[in-house]
Amino acid sequence: MNLFDPSSWSMMWPLFALSVLGLVFFLERALFLHKGQIRTAEFVEGIKNLARKRRVLEALTVCEETPGPVAAVVKAALMHYREDESRLRGAIQAMALVEIPTLERRLGTIAIIAKIAPVMGLLGTVLSLLNGFALMNQTGPYVNAAGFAGLIQTALVTTAAGLAIAIMAYLAHHFLYGRVRALVHDMEWVGNEMLQFLLVDLPATPPPPAEPGAPSASPTNGKQS
């Protein structure tokens, strides 16, 4: 049996399709998670400076233009900064619950690919062996040893391919899961930081002084006599 005979590779095409699907999902998730990673400490400090100057609208605009879940959590906090602690905490947690499934999307599919690829490879090996033994049965009692060795070699190709795909899928899942956990940790830190800032630090911060030439904020009741 020829090692490069396509008829003996009944499971190689499904394994190839599985590997391409896993590669596409990995690249898409890696690019998505990389786009969502920002310098969290610097970003939060810039938002705090804008909030201290009472430029909340500008801070919301910065959050809109910044990709990633961290900016979304900060935006949710700013949009409820005048409310009490329970409502503010609830808004932050609700936004985190929305963002986490987006981060974890397709990770389960990659994990499934890592689990089923060896099984598909083993199935291909079993099918190839069954086909080979059927051909040997038709040839009679005189079996060529070289042909039998080629049969075993060809049958084991699918098992090796399935194991290789599974190893790469496990590595991809581990890498992406680490990125997701890092982003979730940043979201938790940002949520606590914004909660502390909006409830304690910001109310204690005096408003910025009025700009020179600005109209007086105190109303007048009438003309002086």
Please count the other Cβ atoms lying within 10 Å of the Cβ belonging to residue 123. 18
**Which residues are CB-neighbours of 202 under 8 A, at least 6 positions away?**
51, 52, 81
pTM higher than 0.85: no
The three-class DSSP label of residue 129 is helix
Q: How far apart are CA 21 and CA 15, in angstroms?
A: 10
User: How confident is the model over 40-65, as pLDDT tens digits?
Assistant: 889 989 988 888 888 888 889 998 88
User: How confident is the model over 91-143, as pLDDT tens digits?
Assistant: 999 998 999 999 999 999 999 999 999 999 888 888 877 777 776 676 666 66
Q: What DSSP line would sit under 57-95, residue for residue?
A: HHHHHHHHHS-SHHHHHHHHHHHTTTS-HHHHHHHHHHH
The overall average pLDDT reported for the chain is 81
